[in-house]
A and B are shown apart, each in its own frame.
Chain A
């Protein structure tokens, strides 16, 4: 029986065992749902002694579902798991479904080489997971070359099966003082002891290591030598990579894939087809998933890249500029990687996949995920040549250069308790059974309002966030609002969320939604959520308090004359005490004494306020507005759409 978490939808069965994995953030969600089973202490959650899990199966499953860090694990009696999108990567123990056939699109000789066996076997020896990730990336790329990628964990791999393989690529890291990774040791020893095994196998090795160790990339070097000793044919030279392996690994991948794809079904290397294969792969969209589009090549751009630098040791800040020439379709992330690899290895930024939400930077004032935007879409030319300015995200402390500390967001997230707590579903066989039953339009709205590529990026979009440490920010406001709109949520949780939104640090702390809205589609989604959440929070408080009065009286004055009345708005919102506190500002406004001075006659007229003439003096706005022409039309529109005012 395998422990199960939240990856699948379980059909029936009682929970026979429940336990807590490491990583509990003591959020109380589980105890709130099922206090009979869970007890949250100061630093973790424990399962109460003597409980019978089977009696609380539904609640345990619901608690596991609600757990934001998925540390509640349980065993089901006779569970069968339906496949989901979160199915884990295939392993030897759990074979993956056969990959879809590769469409053969080559012509002539290239078409011939692509017929028959097109399997590519990728073996990873990994301690930290990097080699495995690289193998998965190669497998994804393989269909571009007419290949079918199969990823194998070296642990448990049968060496004898390699004899029938025509194409093998190995990615292996080095552990400790030149040791093989734990999962590779047995296979390596077996390969070392064998001989003459590989008669028609072509191979290449990518070695991962760290130049700060004496035995740099030793494991990869050993595999390269052992495969050769076994009789294999090296199709591409081994490449040794330091800790920043992205660029050299990508280069190796291109070379190795192109050449090994020219090995035909008989195991013959067709070297004359390499160029044609390379062109074929570059123009082939076979590997693209649904909705993806092929890269459109753009002309090379000569540009000056100005990048913010910060050294935490010396405390110095500044800007480094480099003149570069890169294809326009390259991403900002590729620019940063290139600069780091070729110009300054100390350049620090958050690297990751193109859609990694934690990689955000600010480029020419625009908040972006650097892997998602092309240089040709961002480079500006103000007459002094093309340039690009890259800075760290606002709203976060800078750790070094472009890398920011995202813990402020994560702490606010934990404090705002944005996880989902489902409502009671009495009468249902299982709580999981009703999940997924929702009106389609509601589901679409919920999905749209939560469709934000990077909450960390959206958090930085608000100009208020850097100036109010208590404000949870637009991303969390939107997330909470989305939760509260979910019809499956419990009434208690919905009320708690609205109270959080209406509280200090909630949505009312946002001073100007336009700063959020200007950040593209993400910003518009975020601003729309903030607006709706604020509507709800103000209504929840009955338009009391400064925020409520501000909105109420603003709208009221518009109805009363068609125009905003600044004086009434200030008086009603701030009240007499607030007005007194802002007396210096009122005097500045009343006398027309701005820093540049107002029209002289108007300044003199302002002195007449002492004689009891109240309106339109100096910069003092009118106490009573003139009504706009046809003011009754404004009133009629108010009456038609909002009778509250």
Chain B
């Protein structure tokens, strides 16, 4: 069977924890766009750029196990999380390029799971699948509720790596802006869209992370954004949950509704109209 729009689905830990609204939106948009997502119930955490600080080889081996599960199903991996995309793509490339490491990991994998990692799959982020596989024309035709705000699309740093962001430009990407336009919105042109908000350091280097978060939010506001959509549920924790604290630490105006990329798409396609109404109320009526 051709892969088509069939993927091994890797939601990431945060989408199964504090950002389960991502899961809600993914179900809706997949149904409308014809994405077939095969749940990876055995997949483990990608490491999120933190686990490798203890042992990079351990993180690579854990991800190799996840890859081998997708390969066993003959599918590429799709994730809605830019951090997962960046970290897993990095380990995928490392494993593909290092035969010695691959063999060392495969010896362990075969012993514990009976699977081998061959390096034949691709890591895909939802944004890339929407633009490259489904196509903006298809999405535009399916829009029910245009999200007609000035929208700042936040890519984050982990995914904007060579090879990890599909065919998009690493330094000056445009996929998010193209998608926002297709959904009826007006993309905001801003530099902070690929800057890090310091999520891996949130709990340990909070002051820096808050300043980084505030800088990103503040710039988006200054460039005219009414809402922000993020391609990374981890960064979303900084940008949303820590938004008020970030503004206080940095002394900047950071008040801005922040939603997830899957929510942006799902709501435009007619899912969760109640939450879209909340967003409209928040952005247009309540304002800052």
Contacts and interface: CB of A to CB of B under 8 A. Distances in A.
B58 A642 contact: yes
A467 interface: yes
Contacts of A569: 203
B108 A508 contact: no
Contacts of B204: 508, 546-547, 549-550, 573
B18 A619 contact: yes
Interface string B4-45: 000000000110111111001000000000000000011111
Interface stretch (A81-89, A242-250, A315-323, A552-560): A552-560
A595 B243 contact: yes
B161 A517 contact: yes
Interface stretch (B49-57, B116-124, B127-135, B140-148): B49-57
Contacts of B200: 511-513
B252 to A, nearest CB: 12
A128 B45 CA distance: 61
Interface size for chain B: under 10, 10 to 19, 20 to 34, or 35 or more residues? 35 or more
A621 B237 CA distance: 12
B196 A597 contact: no
B196 A642 contact: no
B172 A364 contact: yes
A598 interface: yes
Contacts of A589: 18, 241
A514 to B, nearest CB: 4
B160 A509 contact: no
A504 B196 CA distance: 21
Interface in A568-623: 569-570, 573-574, 582, 584-585, 588-589, 594-600, 602, 619-622
Contacts of B243: 595
B196 A515 contact: yes
A634 to B, nearest CB: 5
A534 interface: yes
Contacts, number: 230
A303 to B, nearest CB: 14
A463 B157 contact: yes
Contacts of B56: 531, 535
Given A512-B196, A566-B14, A595-B256, A555 B51 contact: yes
Interface residues of A, number: 76
Contacts of B150: none
Nearest to B107: A640
Of the candidates A382, A466, A511, A549, the one having the most CB atoms from chain B within 10 angstroms of its own CB is A511
A515 B43 contact: no
Contacts of B62: 558, 634, 637
Nearest to B57: A641
B205 interface: yes
A448 to B, nearest CB: 15
Given A511-B198, A511-B212, A512-B49, A518 B259 contact: no
Contacts of A115: none
A550 B45 CA distance: 15
B258 interface: yes
B65 interface: yes
B170 interface: yes
A636 interface: yes
Nearest to B165: A518
Contacts of B49: 512-514
A638 B58 contact: yes
Nearest to B249: A467
B281 to A, nearest CB: 9
A242 B286 CA distance: 60
A399 B194 CA distance: 25
A492 B205 CA distance: 29
A109 B180 CA distance: 65
A588 B212 contact: no
A563 interface: yes
A620 B275 CA distance: 19
A49 interface: no
A350 interface: no
Contact of A562 (B45, B53, B54): B45
A119 B201 CA distance: 63
Interface string B59-74: 0011001000000000
B190 to A, nearest CB: 11
Nearest to B243: A595
A111 B255 CA distance: 74
Contacts of B157: 463, 512, 514-515, 518
Given A596-B258, A630-B113, A531 B241 contact: no
Contacts of B257: 595-596
Given A364-B172, A511-B208, A637 B50 contact: no
A543 B54 CA distance: 9
Interface string B86-113: 1000100000000000000000110111
Of the candidates A508, A569, A602, A642, the one having the most CB atoms from chain B within 10 angstroms of its own CB is A642
A578 to B, nearest CB: 8
A546 B203 contact: yes
B188 interface: no
B80 to A, nearest CB: 16
Interface string A498-513: 0000000000111111
A80 B113 CA distance: 66
Nearest to B250: A467
A228 B279 CA distance: 82
A284 to B, nearest CB: 35
B102 to A, nearest CB: 14
Contacts of A644: 54
B211 interface: yes
A9 interface: no
Contact of B205 (A508, A564, A622): A508
B215 interface: yes
7 contacts: A588-B240, A600-B274, A628-B44, A636-B108, A636-B112, A638-B58, A640-B112
The 6 closest A-B pairs by CB, nearest first: A511-B201, A621-B17, A511-B198, A629-B42, A365-B171, A467-B211
